[in-house]
A = this chain, B = another copy of it.
Amino acid sequence: MWIERLDASHALAYRELMLEAYDRHPQAFTSSVRERAAMPLSWWESRLTGKLDVVFGAFEAGRLAGIVGLAFEPREKARHKTTLFGMYVSAEFRQHGLGRQLVQAALAEAQTHPTLKVIQLTVTAGNEPAFNLYQRCGFIQFGLEPLAVRVGEDYFDKIHMWREL
């Protein structure tokens, strides 16, 4: 297993894994598989090469098995904050500790940016494995957003978490 920063050459594999995530866990992500499947490959490339995003991938046996992103803030009064987003480990690669290693990779990257002081994320209420993982990695809940995500006729709350870097 290794973790590396993704670039444009990983766009196809990144697209495939994110669409799997959106499709299998619609309540966990604000993006929908339908919206994202319609995006051209150049859109996925730009996610991997944009100045305000960094995406890491975990590879097992040469295959992309898990992903996590960091989004930076353009405005100067928010530039001390970064957001962990798009965290996913493919079902067949769970229970290998990949999730924890991806979060640690994101934290290590954030800590190389001297202007960053805070990292935030959201997790859908009820997703105990993810919530527990983030807690073990030092994240603390600072809010519970009601009706944060709508999937069909159902609404799900989101827990907002943060930690200092």
Contacts and interface: CB of A to CB of B under 8 A. Distances in A.
Interface stretch (A52-60, A103-111, A141-149): A141-149
A148 B118 CA distance: 9
Interface residues of A, number: 31
A118 B147 contact: yes
Copies of this chain, count:
2
Task: Determine the main DSSP class of A at the interface with B.
Answer: strand
Contacts of A63: none
Interface in A24-57: 26, 29-32, 34-35
Given A35-B76, A146-B162, 6 more contacts: A32-B77, A77-B149, A78-B148, A118-B146, A142-B145, A143-B145
Interface of A: 26, 29-32, 34-35, 75-81, 117-118, 120, 142-151, 155, 160, 162, 164
